[in-house]
Structure 1
Amino acid sequence: MENYQICRVAIAPLRKEPSDRSEIVSQLLFGDRVKVIEQTEKWWLVQNFDDDYQGWMDFKQLTRLGEAQYLDKRSYTYLAPAAVNNTLIAANGSAYYVPAGCTLPFYADGFCFLGEEKFELKFDAWMPSRQTIASELEATAKFFENAPYLWGGRTLFGIDCSGFVQTVFRLHGLQLKRDASQQAEQGELVDFLSGATVGDLAFFDNEAGQITHVGMMLGNDKIIHAAGKVRIDPIDDQGIFNPEQGRYTHKLRIVKRFF
């Protein structure tokens, strides 16, 4: 029998190995659904429903779902908006401060639910729409500007390059894979940088030819990306130029279009 769970805390680390000392490879956010792959006494290996990403986590940060609840896709459409004051009130009156882009399961009339547990929203739920992506995507990306870089991070208070673009696109109804190398396999190729438009994703490789970085184009000569912090830098056919360092920091490989 499959074991289905949902994240019950605002942010939960997903680790490479079942240990508190292990590298954080990603995060689960409030309302993320997972399937349990393997269990130990404290640690569970889980797979995220949305992007199939796997990692180990403390089982106490999860609560059980029935199979029908887990698979009910229509009940996971509302998200927390790009804002810093997304507060949920639990049944006992305590507050949860949830990050932008997290899921609000079974949302209706100002409430969402984790299994049988009910939460009152103190903000307006966000319904992603691809119809407004062209006009609103840049503003959503800039909401995260100056967010500190954090390997494996997915929130305003710590985010990595692929987590950044994944979250921005998620807020507009487009699901990307988790890592830059995986995202580079999605979308349609843009032949020349000069043809890039707002919302295209640029991918960068290392000396071994591996995709290691991604950012979102703001036209064909600027990019917003997470490197040290979420920042806006100039870009040309060679790659990203960092004015503070006075050098190119990332070598351009390809540009992809997703809408």
Structure 2
Amino acid sequence: MNFGICNLSIVPIRSEASDASEMTSQMLFGEHFTILEKNKYWSKIRLFYDNFEGYIDNKQFEEISKDYFQKLSTIESIYSGDIIDFISSDTNDLFTIPLGARLPSFTNNQFYINTKRFQYEGATFKGVLSKNEIIQKAFTYLNTPFLWGGKTPFGIDCSGFTQMTYKLCGYKIPRDAKEQASKGEVLSFIEESEPGDLAFFDNEEGEIIHVGIILNDYHIIHAHGKVRIDTLDHSGIFNSDLQKHTHKLRVIKKLI
């Protein structure tokens, strides 16, 4: 079995082995994965972080050894903390990295991808932060445009937004809203919730299709057109711009 690591800022993960295929998620710099299948142009991968599977272009990653994969799987995760920043290599190559990029074995403003050394002088996040920090990290994405499969401040979907916000605070949750809804403790009423809890919404068939992060005073931050703040009530999300409910509340979950 082969392994790889993302050595570019943002790499699309697609549902099929084609540039024209749907982007179902993204892989950020420093994420590592198992290669399940590999052909001439594309590889099917499984991310270590959340077991998400899909196809990536063979030109957009670097292969790593099994030993290095296992090391990356056990060392502490340190993430870049600015919306966008730069890293530089010893050969003076300059790369942009987005918020939430992983910096393997980061110390003294340096880290490595295989044997290549990089310099980074920006902000970082590591460890498990308090639940209150979830709201502060969520506000970082405010007004980010909605992008199906997106995971960055330049485009993000509803479950990518909740996953990345939790990730920056040291909490691991699945990639998709339906899987996120299977975790945690069910709360019977909005009044029982705390800022940082998740609210899930379904369609007419009862399928979970949306998720957001609960704020104080019956408000919610979520990705719908853009990352925005709306009112939350027992019916669902009330959009103040449209003056109507846009999402039907299914369940509130406490994951932390």
TM-score (norm 1): 0.95
Q: CA deviation at 1:147?
A: 0.3
Q: Tell me how far apart the structure 2 counterparts of residues 204 and 150 of structure 1 sit (CA, whole Å).
A: 18
Q: CA deviation at 1:66?
A: 1.5
Percent identity of equivalent pairs: 36
Q: Tell me how far apart the structure 2 counterparts of residues 250 and 85 of structure 1 sit (CA, whole Å).
A: 31
Q: CA deviation at 1:200?
A: 0.3
Q: Secondary structure at the match of 1:240?
A: strand
Match of 1:8 in 2: 7
Q: Secondary structure at the match of 1:41?
A: coil
Match of 1:225 in 2: 222
Q: CA deviation at 1:187?
A: 1.3
Map 1:59-208 to 2 at 5 A.
59-72=58-71, 73-81=73-81, 83-130=82-129, 133-208=130-205
Q: Tell me how far apart the structure 2 counterparts of residues 89 and 241 of structure 1 sit (CA, whole Å).
A: 45
RMSD over aligned CA atoms reads 1.2
Q: CA deviation at 1:180?
A: 0.2
Given the superposition, is the C-alpha separation of residues 85 and 22 from structure 1 closer, same or farther in structure 2, using an over 3 Å criterion?
A: closer
Q: Which consecutive unaligned segments of at least 5 residues does structure 1 have?
A: none
Q: Tell me how far apart the structure 2 counterparts of residues 226 and 115 of structure 1 sit (CA, whole Å).
A: 35
Q: Tell me how far apart the structure 2 counterparts of residues 252 and 57 of structure 1 sit (CA, whole Å).
A: 35
Q: Tell me how far apart the structure 2 counterparts of residues 195 and 70 of structure 1 sit (CA, whole Å).
A: 42
Q: CA deviation at 1:137?
A: 1.6
Q: Tell me how far apart the structure 1 counterparts of residues 187 and 70 of structure 2 sit (CA, whole Å).
A: 35
Checking the alignment, whether the CA contact within 8 Å between 2:125 and 2:169 is kept in structure 1 is no
Q: Which consecutive unaligned segments of at least 5 residues does structure 2 have?
A: none
Q: Secondary structure at the match of 2:75?
A: helix
Q: CA deviation at 1:135?
A: 2.9
Q: Tell me how far apart the structure 2 counterparts of residues 21 and 251 of structure 1 sit (CA, whole Å).
A: 32
Q: Secondary structure at the match of 2:56?
A: strand
Checking the alignment, whether the CA contact within 8 Å between 1:8 and 1:61 is kept in structure 2 is yes
Q: CA deviation at 1:255?
A: 0.5
Structure 1 residue runs of 4 or more that deviate by more than 4 Å after TM superposition: none
Checking the alignment, whether the CA contact within 8 Å between 2:146 and 2:223 is kept in structure 1 is yes
TM-score (norm 2): 0.96
- Tell me whether 1:45 sits opposite 2:44 in the alignment: yes
Match of 1:20 in 2: 19
One-letter code of the match for 1:75?
A: I
Q: Tell me how far apart the structure 1 counterparts of residues 186 and 20 of structure 2 sit (CA, whole Å).
A: 39
One-letter code of the match for 2:25?
A: S
Kindly provide the CA deviation profile for residues 130-157 of structure 1, in whole angstroms up to 9, marking residues without a partner as x: 3xx2232211100100000000000000
Kindly provide the CA deviation profile for residues 216-257 of structure 1, in whole angstroms up to 9, marking residues without a partner as x: 000351000000000000010000001111110000000111
Match of 1:252 in 2: 249
Q: CA deviation at 1:76?
A: 4.5
Kindly provide the CA deviation profile for residues 178-231 of structure 1, in whole angstroms up to 9, marking residues without a partner as x: 000010011111121111110000000001100000000003510000000000
One-letter code of the match for 1:192?
A: F
One-letter code of the match for 2:103?
A: L
Q: Secondary structure at the match of 2:210?
A: strand
